[in-house]
Amino acid sequence: EVNKYKFARYADDFVITSQTRENLEEIIPQLESWLAQRGLKLNKAKTQIRDIRKEGFSFLGFDIRQFKGKTLRYGSNRYKRFAHKMRINAKPNAKRIPSPNAKLKEEECYSCFIIPGKKETKEFLTNIREYLKNEGRVLSFDTVLNRLNSKIRGWLNYYRFVCSKKTFSKIRKEVLDAIYRYLKRKHPKKSWKWIKRKYYTKIDQDPHNPYADIKGKRKNREVLVNAAKDVPIIRFEKVKGKNSPFDPTLIEYWKKRQTKWGKTKFAKGSKYEQIYTRQKGICPICGKPICLDEAFEVHHIVPIRDGGNNSKANLMILHQHCHKAKNKHLHKRVD
């Protein structure tokens, strides 16, 4: 059957889904035969058949599982919306299309949740603790905090598009605890009040936010990344219907989508987000949107060597290839 299986792949990792366990047991020998012809084989340790409603499964660092939702009460607004959705999504050749007032089975009331993998979360926290215990011992606190922020921001950006609120809160709590223990090891003879006065501040109304002075300048502080403010959770917006980026009639749709999605590259309220908003998500050189998956560069309008600075007014965000072309032109002009 055409719709008997569903397939999702990323590089050499893939998932095959089906309605029954028997279907999956049937496809494994065929899959092994197909791979053997190409000199490949399945990893037995990673090849498993899982029930998404009982156990769930892990894929690319995410835990995916369905949970039973609330029972739909007959006649409720939620019930009618669900029935209407079922009618819209029903296939033309379906045996029976449920009417808006049809009584739906409880087994249809399941919600799929995607969360950061528990194993990956544990490994990340272990990595943070090991870094503070080993490398962090011989480094200054500003260097440690700067590197911690890079690690944390990268991890949060990867998992920010799924149901991550609880995990992000846990990460922040565990990292703050690890920093506290690190500072106590760094200053074993100092009291907690002394440590708090030296390393903690009430920035963003958070009295437990450690900071470090960069290059001795009190005005420029490196603050620990706050997931709730700096890396907000953003739901991935699906493409409407069968809209294709190659359809010339949908140029405006894709332009708006790319501009909106490209904004998620930057921390909320940051200098670079403000510059991106000022440019309306458009590269000033080529006039095309700066998308999320494209490389970009921050360009100084007035070069530093000519007296320029790093203020927002003197910066603009360009595509990487546009930035190279711009710099090449400037170098030629100087020569």
Shared domain check, 106 and 126:
no
Residue 107's pLDDT is 42
Look at strands 5-10 and 13-18 and give their pairing: antiparallel
DSSP string spanning 82-103? HHHHHHHHS-TT-S-PPPTTPP
Of residues 287, 294, 298, the one with CA closest to residue 255: 287
**pLDDT value at residue 227:** 62
* Own/partner pairs, 232-240, CB within 8 angstroms, 24+ separation: 232/160, 232/268, 233/160, 233/161, 233/162, 233/164, 233/165, 233/168, 234/160, 234/161, 234/264, 235/161, 236/161, 237/261
- Residue 223 and residue 243: Cα distance in Å, rounded? 42
Q: State the pLDDT at residue 122.
A: 93
- Say if 55 falls within a structural domain: no
Does 229 map to a domain? no
Is 148 among the domain residues?
yes
Task: Give CA separation, 53 vs 49, 69, 107, 113, in Å.
Answer: 12, 11, 10, 11
Residues 171, 124 share a domain? yes
Residue 123 confidence (pLDDT): 93
Q: φ and ψ at 73, to 5 degrees?
A: -80, 135
Task: Give the per-residue pLDDT at 106.
Answer: 44
- Indicate whether 137 and 216 sit together in one domain: yes
Whether 43 and 103 map to the same domain: the answer is: no
Same domain, 192 and 212: yes
What local confidence, expressed as pLDDT, does residue 203 receive?
Answer: 61
Q: Are residues 324 and 297 in the same domain?
A: yes
Q: What is the pLDDT of residue 105?
A: 47
Domain around 324: 250-332
Is the domain of 131 the same as that of 215? yes
**pLDDT less than 50: residues of the chain:** 94-97, 100, 104-107, 214-219, 334-335
Last residue of a domain, one of 97, 114, 131: 114
Residues 127 and 74 in one domain: no
Residues in the chain: 335
CA dihedral 188, 191, 197, 203 (to 10 degrees): 80
State residue 248's pLDDT score.
78
Same domain flag for 306 and 256: yes
Distance from C-alpha of 19 to C-alpha of 51, rounded to nearest angstrom: 10
- Determine the Cα–Cα distance for residues 92 and 84; give it in Å rounded to an integer: 15
| Assigned domain for 208 exists | yes
CB contact at 8 A, 151 and 171:
no
pTM: 0.66
Helix (H) or strand (E) holding 40: none
pLDDT of residue 201: 73
Domain assignment present for residue 317? The answer is: yes
Q: What pLDDT is stored for residue 273 in this prediction?
A: 77
From 166, 151, 63, select the one nearest 115 (Cα to Cα): 63
Measured N-to-C along each axis, helices 118-133 and 141-159 cross at an angle, to the nearest 10 degrees, of 170
| Short-list 195, 197, 196, 203, CA closest to 219 | 203
Q: How many domains does the chain have?
A: 4
Q: What is the pLDDT of residue 269?
A: 64
Looking at the structure, tell me whether residues 138 and 192 fall in a common domain.
yes
Please report the pLDDT score of residue 121 as a whole number: 92
How many of the other CB atoms lie within 10 Å of CB of 41?
Answer: 10
